Amino acid sequence: MADYPAELVRERTLFDGSPVTIRPIRAEDKPLEQEFVQHLSADSRYKRFMSTLKELPPGKLKYLTEIDYVRHLALVAIIQRDGQDVEIGVARYIAGPSGDECEFAIAIDDEWQGSGVAGILMLELIDAARARGMQKMEAFILAANNNMIKFAHQLGFALHRDPDDPGMFHAVRSL
């Protein structure tokens, strides 16, 4: 496993002026990640995980937080609330078998959708993927997830209906 990439820690400002820290996830963030997923609306959880889970099972939680920072990178958006870290978003990529393409996923707490945090996370994730040798990024998006389809288009992803599953869009972007 690579060392923690402290160079990816960033302080940013959301549209409303709120400060947010963008940083790679750590293994000790398991409680933060679990709370984040539990706090998502059922609709947001379904759009992210394409299932009706209410919380992450232990194996999935470990998989999402114990990462190598090269082939699997997750960036979390953290705010301070009453002196405590609160995760309001996460964007991640996982490299494919060739090691030069990756699939991304993103989830934003319902309260923070439209705040600018998704754009900040994705631009940082794209830069980090490029710096780690990724040449292509893709995602599979539910056709009913209009906001994500629009967002991916704004980020320069080409979108096509999945020929094998008309309920899905395939988003692809060269890095």
The pLDDT tens digits for 133-151 are: 999 999 999 999 999 999 9
Residue 154's alpha-carbon distances to 114, 149, 166, 173, in angstroms, are 14, 9, 22, 11
The CA distance from 175 to 93, in Å, is 13
Say whether pLDDT at 72 is over 80. yes
> What are the tens digits of pLDDT across the range 152-168?
999 999 999 989 998 99
The CA distance from 90 to 99, in Å, is 22
Q: Which two tokens stand for residue 71?
A: 């082939």
| Percent helix, percent strand, percent coil in the chain, to nearest 5 | 35, 35, 30
pLDDT above 90 as % of the chain:
84
> In which residue are the tokens 């996923």 written?
105
- Give the pLDDT score at 43: 85
Say whether pLDDT at 130 is over 90. yes
Say whether pLDDT at 1 is over 70. no
